[in-house]
Structure 1
Amino acid sequence: MRALIFTEGGSQIGLGHISRCCSLYDELEGRGIEAEFIINGDKEKFEIIEKKKNMVVNWLSKDFLTNYIKHNDFCIVDSYLAREEIYQVISSLAKKALFIDDIGRIKYPKGIVVNPSLGTKSIKYSNVDTNCYLLGAKYIILRSPFVQVERQEIKSQVKEVLITLGGSDIHNLTPVILNELSSKFSEVIFNVVIGNSFDNIEEIKSFSSKNIIFHENVTAEEMKSIMLSSDFAITAAGQTIYELIATQTPFIPIKVIENQHFNILALKELNLVDVALEYNDPFFKEKLICEIENIVRVSNRINLTEKYERVIDGLGSKRIIDALLSEEAKEENYFLRKAKSEDVFDVFQLSNEDYVRKYSLNIDKIEWEDHKVWFKNILKSNNHVFYVITDHTDQFLGQLRYKIENDSATISISLFKSITGKGLSKLLVKKSMELIRNERNEIRNIIAYVSNDNVASKKLFESVGFLLRENDSGILKYNYSIS
């Protein structure tokens, strides 16, 4: 048994794909599975994987794939270049295929589709009935040194700043930033990370100053150390933002390529940043200075690090490989379990989906800070029973809650769209009613409040046996009596 990782990297592409796939490689290797990188790139050697089995070749051809993939191979594809027909070839040849996607780029063939990012809600996927989808923060891929890291302190004065523009700095931003900042903030040390695909190394190194330290071709462990020593970072809005969140390092993101668009949307929606810069903004320098003036304030940096807590738990690679190696990637079994503190972010994302808020009694979007307080109180409350819905990989798929008052319990349910329309709601409500009756035998009535416009919910509760009792200005009250 072996696992082939098809990806790309180079001077114009960067190393983001290779970097995140390293974690999947390590997870596979740790389970005793032979793994190999197959890289389409313009280099003969990549230092980032020099100790891993790899081949640099243009794999975007049916002939190569047909000759190289064996029928019992697991295949992982992380690409912005491969055409849909190439994915179809890999899917047909492999024992099982897993596709990493950030932007809903194509219609994926049979397999597992993973979107390992914060910004998944705006992306629409097809083939929901034939593919397994692993989406969101639970599947963010971190390199092993960044798992469960704790920052020791937030310094009152900024002493070090990290500048990292990805593996290639395709827009030559590093010299622009250094020219703007190194003399203006002469007492601050600038840790400048130079990727091994930079074409502008000599120009960058021409900035000879005692407050600039260059770090070339750093390992993951070295990058973690630099992040922890830096008080904030100026970064491209790619994979590095997740490592910064994991190390609780405040950062100013710069969108340097279009596929970072959804990352930026998610950062703003979660209130993890106020402003994201764009490399081609004519006022880039002025906006950068403005953001630096904000982030140097210790209260702002403390606020940011607190927001980063629990966003990423670092178990994404494990969950992804669990799904790849399971006997069936798509199970028809769904489970109810008690909510845990780790579910806070998943519940937040689902609760803020437009289709969920549309039929809620309070239609306003929920703020992250308010949600964290609410969630913590709900878990501790004896007047609430909170279940989450998962599949066999423990992927969060929905929530089902009961608020208990005397001998009555008010039910609320919301599911991700990936499992709606399959008749699951009825089964899950029935299962939850069995659980709540066993757990709280004082309950005699279960109540559901439904908007009159929410046709699906009305049909759901009526099919389970709820009876309509009241209509208060378009809010329907359903009741289920327990004998």
Structure 2
Amino acid sequence: MKVWIRADGNEQIGTGHVMRCLAIAEALEAAGVPVCFVMADDAAAQLVKSRGKKVRILHTRYDRMEEELPVLTAVMEEEHPDMLLIDSYYVSDAYLQRLTGQVWTVYIDDKSFHSYPVNMIINYNIYGDRSLYHPEPAYSLMGAAYAPLRPEFRNVEYPVREQAEAVLLTTGGSDRYDLAGQILRAVPKELAVVFHVVSGIFNSHYDALCRMALADDRIRVHRNVSRMSELMRECDIAITAGGSTMYELSAIGVPMISFSFVDNQEKIVETFYQKKITCYGGNYLTEGDLMPGRIVEHMMELMQSRELREHYSSLERHLVDGNGASRIAEELCRVYEEDRI
């Protein structure tokens, strides 16, 4: 079996789609399945290549996917991939229908809850369930057991320390509203805490964050982190935007405050909060400048209570075990062979 993965990353959409697909790609390769990424442009190609993955560039628009069909279908006719895994919010039924007529298709969904014309739907989110789709898909992988994480997030020992002295702050691959900067500016100057700020490769505020770090020795800025699990383990609290990072933090057990700043993050942040697994940092789209102050208040509450941090840590670790990518790879191989018989 040969698998192609259709995903993009850039300053507008960040790197979330690419990162979760990289985890699946690594699990597939570990199972002996060759993988190739197919991308509209080269904006995130180097990120994928740096992980040792093959990349094909279509030279098309990432947000006009129907227009790429003549190019993509022609390349597939030449190379004959057995399976195409698609991860993009810009697909249409017409796009998926055309590809499903040519190759076994899998779609990663966390937004529309629509019965797409594909062979399999993956919704690994905490709220993922077959009942969301009408009619229900023939094949599906649903729920946080399938959260696609890299092997480094498996079986990590995480001590909830007596004193909370280090905080992870991450806003994803890009940070269009400078939320990391806004949150840091809301922290009282006298508060004794170290902030490990992870700046994504498309964060246009990276230089400003570095200047803040030069002026405040509590701030350390990280970019291109090779072992994110190790940095997370060093931190007592995490402040994070909604997305796959929440599942990574859960696998380790780092108590977190989560927030959203784009619409596709809202449901995951709200569901974690409704299940009392995380503190709710807010929705920047509706709360604006009020959100950073609320996040800092929650951070200080967590700092003052080891018992509360232990509570959140335990709930998180029961949700995610870090084996989701391997489960996806195993099921893709099994179902593909089953469907061919």
Superposition TM-score, scaled by structure 2 size? 0.88
Alignment of 1:5-404 (within 5 A): 5-41=5-41, 43=43, 45-50=45-50, 51-57=52-58, 58=60, 60=65, 61-70=68-77, 71-94=80-103, 96-104=104-112, 106-121=114-129, 124-128=132-136, 131-151=138-158, 153-181=159-187, 183-185=189-191, 187-207=192-212, 208=214, 209-219=216-226, 221=227, 223-280=228-285, 281=287, 282-296=289-303, 297-326=305-334
Contact 1:99 1:113 in 2 (8 A): yes
Contact 1:255–1:261 (8 Å) recurs in 2:
yes
Give the letter aligned to residue 223 of structure 2: E
Distance in 2 (CA, whole Å) between partners of 1:245 and 1:205 is 28
Deviates more, 1:255-264 or 1:245-254: 255-264
Superposed displacement of residue 101, structure 1: 0.4
1:31-55 Cα distance to aligned partner (Å, 9 max, x none): 2222011123561643354221113
- 8 Å CA contact 1:10, 1:41 repeated in 2: no
The alignment partner of 1:46 has SS state of helix
CA separation of 1:206 and 1:31: change in aligned 2, threshold 3 A: same
- The answer (yes or no) to whether the contact 2:23–2:325 under 8 Å persists in 1 is yes
Q: Which structure has greater strand proportion?
A: 1
Q: CA RMSD, aligned part only?
A: 2.1
**Partner residue, 1:4:** 4
Distance in 2 (CA, whole Å) between partners of 1:123 and 1:14 is 29
Q: Given that residues 125 and 143 in structure 2 are in contact (C-alpha distance below 8 angstroms), is that contact kept between their aligned partners in structure 1?
A: yes
Asked if 2 retains the 8 angstrom alpha-carbon contact of 1:171 and 1:279, the reply is no
Maintained 8 Å contact 2:281/2:294: no
- The secondary structure found in structure 2 opposite 1:326 is helix
The answer to whether the 8 Å contact 1:11/1:42 transfers is no
**1:184 Cα shift?**
4.0
Moved beyond 6 Å, runs of 4+: none
SS at match of 1:306: helix
SS where residue 325 of structure 2 aligns?
helix
Larger Rg: 1
Q: Is the 8 A contact 1:120 1:262 kept in 2?
A: no
Any gaps of 5 or more consecutive residues in structure 1? Answer: 332-483
* Alpha-carbon separation, structure 1, partners of 2:92 and 2:311: 43
Distance in 2 between residues matched to 1:47 and 1:173, nearest whole Å: 23
**How many angstroms apart in 2 are the aligned matches of 1:15 and 1:179?**
25
**Between Structure 1 and Structure 2, how many residues are aligned?**
325
TM-score, with structure 1 as normaliser: 0.63
Tell me if the contact between 1:119 and 1:136 (Cα under 8 Å) persists in the aligned partners.
yes
Give the partner amino acid of 1:248.
G
Amino acid at match of 1:321: A
Task: Tell me the SS of whatever aligns to 2:222.
Answer: strand
How far residue 124 of structure 1 moved from its aligned partner, in angstroms, is 2.1
Match of 1:463 in 2: none
> 8 Å contact 1:44–1:56 — kept in the other structure?
no
**Tell me, which stretches of 5 or more residues in structure 2 are unaligned?**
none
The one-letter amino acid paired with 2:54 is K
Higher helix share: 2
User: Higher mean Cα deviation, 136-145 or 274-283?
Assistant: 274-283
Matching residue of 1:462: none
SS at match of 2:26: helix
Distance change in 2, residues 1:284/1:312 (3 Å)? same
